[in-house]
A and B are shown apart, each in its own frame.
Chain A
């Protein structure tokens, strides 16, 4: 976002309009980021409300030393999701929510559950850090610099992890296609 620093400074000085501009720019992005982790519209909306409320309460503490605003906001979102899983799935270790068993309680709608199952199958083969970077890079469309700040890794490392994951998949192209066929067959069976 152009002039983001100026907008943040205005926001920190109490300019409501400036906050409104930041909100409009990030709301859909943060919503998607959270949704890809909880796969429930209701939960995503609840968590996104918390994320923006936390951001609003803490915006005065934000400085560019902590990286750009986008990375700061995504970090709040990521921590909020982790806290959500910690408090709602107390019997599981929530280091990586993709490793949770497919619990019906996670889904409000059947089609979301199916969607989650298919996507999960595809992404399950990656290591947690690879998975997170792939999602952030391809689905959330974050830059490597932003991903690096969110995950507290170096930019080069993020680039490397992402590229290796995709490159490994190429080695398994046959397996990849097979997975796609299976997932399509399962969908047909369900219909």
Chain B
């Protein structure tokens, strides 16, 4: 027996000497856990390339006094070491760049420029200007596998039954996890008549940050060099990323990503209270309870106050909502999916998210994949009752291009009744359950397209059918079926066939 395993066993016996009698079982469990260690696919080539880069960086740092990094400023805490004048000059130079970041990106061949509901602009360009979108669904979301997960309503799912498969008279462990029951779903449209008027609809592409090479060159030559290094003005520098820290109680790190056109901020851990607990009893005493979780109204008020304090403009966003897909819901779902068999400890999350859903032309945008509304995300620390991070504060400039869309509702209804684009029937299913499709609505869904090593953010018109069930014994099914209306995508994906179905533990709604 390897020493490592011996040592593990010794620790167990120290806690409970009786366990020695069960050494065989324990060995089996430990060996199984060891065997389940995933193959991490470590790549020696990557390791050697990274080493080369790091050693170069190491050399550079030695000669640059390590005080500033231009392409990747990980810790601008050091800004406090700079003279006030330099910091001021840097900020002076950054302001016009950040301003450009919001306004400069206008498409060269734009024919119409209209105002988005927010402070951004939408530039209308020629039809089909973003090229074929047929392959979009296969690369969207950074995944090489099917990405239309919000659309993919598997006709088959598996659900933990409420009664374990146990021999008559046998004792049932309160924690026993039963095998999953395979279910096929039959979708029946029960909605009202629906009409899609147009055979062409707008697809939007977000214009991200810009090339700030001119401003950057000036900034470098005049200020950041600090007289220690000569940044040649002839070189094309572009500011990619700026981070700085707020060194005060409950301060934040701010990160401005010029390439992506986004700003995020998160806790400056050094200035937020940290637990001093060293043992389980202390952790248990500090554990949050339901009473600690602010009401939705309080959460939204905390969030709104923060938005106001930092002057974040909300013109492009809908009214804020508390995101219910947090761990508190997750724990609830686990309890529900294994009724009376695997009760799950209540878990109160440390953080809760408030989202300000993003809108374009007054239509709310949903995230492909997760299927939830997307927008400005503000995380609130339940413990501190303060905003702990802000993400997805992005520039809102778009190009728009018309694409042919499917307007034959009966065709779309048929696809939805088959369970969407990726459905399939599992021959091993033991049960078929009927689900109802309600009247659909047209929304925009955000997709990611990877081209030439960069990602483009596209908003695709999508028809979303709500799914419901009158059968209260069914607690796990897809709650929406979403079909992209752009013909390119729809035609290339229809009848693609089934995917691999894995047990679904979640009952979270795909589109709220």
| Pairwise interchain contact B37-A110, C-beta atoms closer than 8 A | no
* Chain A interface, >50% SS class: helix
Q: Give residues 170-195 of B contacting A (CB, 8 Å).
A: 173, 175-177, 179-180
Q: Could you tell me which residues of chain B, from 1 to 29, have a CB within 8 Å of some CB in chain A?
A: 4, 8, 11-12, 14-16, 19, 22, 25-26, 28-29
Given that A31-B40, A54-B74, A102-B502 are contacting pairs, would A169 and B29 also be in contact in the complex, using a CB cutoff of 8 Å? yes
**Cα distance A125–B379 in the bound complex, in angstroms:** 27
Contact between chains at B377 and A57 (CB < 8 Å) = no
B12–A161 CB distance below 8 A: no
Docked Cα-Cα span, A17 to B278, in Å, equals 38
Contacts A83-B266, A178-B179: A53 and B54 contacting too (C-beta < 8 A)? yes
Give the interface segment out of B116-124, B350-358, B470-478.
Answer: B350-358
Stretch at the interface among B99-107, B319-327, B411-419, B435-443: B319-327
Provide the B115-148 mask, 1 if CB < 8 A to any CB of A, else 0: 0000000000000000000000000011111110
Which of B8, B143, B278, B369 interacts with A166 by CB under 8 Å? B8
Task: Determine if A4 is an interface residue (Cβ-Cβ < 8 Å).
Answer: no
**In contact, A19 and B58 (Cβ under 8 angstroms):** yes
Give Cα distance in the complex from A148 to B257, angstroms: 35
B144 touches A108 (CB 8 A): yes
Q: Is A170 a contact partner of B179 (Cβ separation < 8 A)?
A: no
In the complex, residue of chain B having the shortest beta-carbon distance to the beta carbon of A127: B345
> With the chains together, A180 CA to B15 CA distance in Å?
27
Q: Which residues of A105-125 are within 8 A (CB) of B? A: 105-110, 113-119, 121-122, 125
Q: Which single residue of chain A is at the shortest CB-CB distance from B504?
A: A102
Partner of A35, one of B40, B391, B392: B40
Inter-subunit contact A41/B353 (CB<8 Å): no
Whole-angstrom distance from the CB of A44 to the nearest CB of chain B?
7
B85 proximal to A (CB < 8 A): no
Is residue B42 within 8 Å, beta carbon to beta carbon, of the partner chain?
yes
Inter-subunit contact A104/B149 (CB<8 Å):
yes
- Do A105 and B142 form a contact, CB below 8 Å, given A116-B38, A122-B36? yes
A24, A52, A92, A139, most chain B CB atoms within 10 A: A92
Chain B stretch 252-311: residues in CB contact (< 8 A) with chain A: 264, 266, 269, 274-275, 277-280, 283
A170 to B51, CA, bound (A): 43
Min distance, Cβ B37 to any Cβ of chain A, angstroms: 5
B75:A58 contact, CB within 8 angstroms? yes
Whether the pair A189, B428 counts as a contact (CB closer than 8 A) is yes
* Residues of B close to A186: CB separation below 8 A: 502-503
Query: 0/1 per residue, A84-105, Cβ < 8 Å to B?
Result: 0011001111111001011111
A86 near B55 with CB under 8 A, answer no
Most B-side CB within 10 Å, residue of A104, A116, A125? A104
The tally of residues in A whose CB lies under 8 Å from a CB in B reads 90
B150: nearest residue on chain A (CB-CB)? A104
Asked if B95 is at the interface (CB within 8 A of a chain A CB), the reply is no
- Asked if B34 is an interface residue, CB under 8 A from chain A, the answer is yes
- Would you call B370 an interface residue if the criterion is a C-beta within 8 Å of the partner chain's C-beta atoms? yes
The interface stretch among B59-67, B203-211, B225-233, B398-406 is B59-67
B332 at the interface (CB under 8 A from A): no
Across the interface, B25 reaches (CB within 8 A) one of A106, A107, A117, A173, namely A173
Is A93 in contact with B51, judged by CB distance below 8 angstroms?
no
Partner of A163, one of B11, B33, B43: B11
- A141: CB under 8 A from chain B? yes
Contacts of B81 in A (CB 8 A): none
- B389 close to chain A: CB less than 8 A: yes
Q: Does B57 reach chain A (CB closer than 8 Å)?
A: yes
Give Cα distance in the complex from A141 to B61, angstroms.
33
Q: Nearest chain A CB to B469's CB is how many angstroms away?
A: 20
Answer whether A95 and B51 are a contact pair too, CB < 8 Å, given A109-B144, A178-B177: no
B250 at the binding interface (Cβ < 8 Å) = no
Residue pair B61, A103 in contact (C-beta under 8 Å): no
Which residues of B lie under 8 Å from residue A167 when comparing CB positions? 12, 15-16, 19
Check: A134 CB closer than 8 A to any chain B CB: yes
CA distance A33 to B478 in the complex (A): 34
Known interface pairs A57-B69, A110-B500; A101-B51 also in contact (CB < 8 Å): no
Contact B145 A56 (CB under 8 A): no
Asked if A95 and B351 make an inter-chain contact with CB atoms under 8 angstroms apart, the answer reads yes
B61→A57 contact, CB < 8 A: yes
A60 at the interface (CB under 8 A from B): yes
Residues in B with CB closer than 8 Å to A79 are 269
The reply to whether the CB of B372 lies closer than 8 angstroms to some CB of chain A is yes
Say whether B38 contacts A173, CB under 8 Å.
no
Given A45-B46, A157-B279, 19 other A-B residues pairs in contact with their CB atoms under 8 A: A19-B54, A20-B55, A56-B57, A90-B353, A101-B325, A104-B149, A105-B149, A105-B369, A105-B370, A107-B145, A108-B145, A110-B145, A110-B500, A113-B502, A153-B279, A163-B8, A170-B19, A174-B173, A186-B502
Query: 30 A-B residue contacts at CB 8 Å?
Result: A19-B55, A24-B51, A35-B40, A36-B38, A87-B264, A91-B355, A93-B352, A93-B379, A95-B350, A99-B327, A104-B141, A105-B370, A107-B145, A109-B144, A113-B502, A122-B36, A138-B34, A152-B275, A153-B277, A153-B278, A160-B280, A161-B280, A162-B8, A163-B12, A167-B12, A170-B19, A170-B22, A170-B25, A173-B25, A175-B175
Residues of A that sit less than 8 Å from B by CB: 14, 16, 19-20, 23-24, 27-28, 31-32, 35-36, 39, 41, 44-45, 48-49, 52-54, 56-58, 60, 79, 83, 86-87, 90-96, 99, 101-110, 113-119, 121-122, 125, 127, 129, 134, 137-139, 141, 152-154, 157, 159-164, 166-167, 169-170, 172-176, 178-180, 182, 186, 189-190
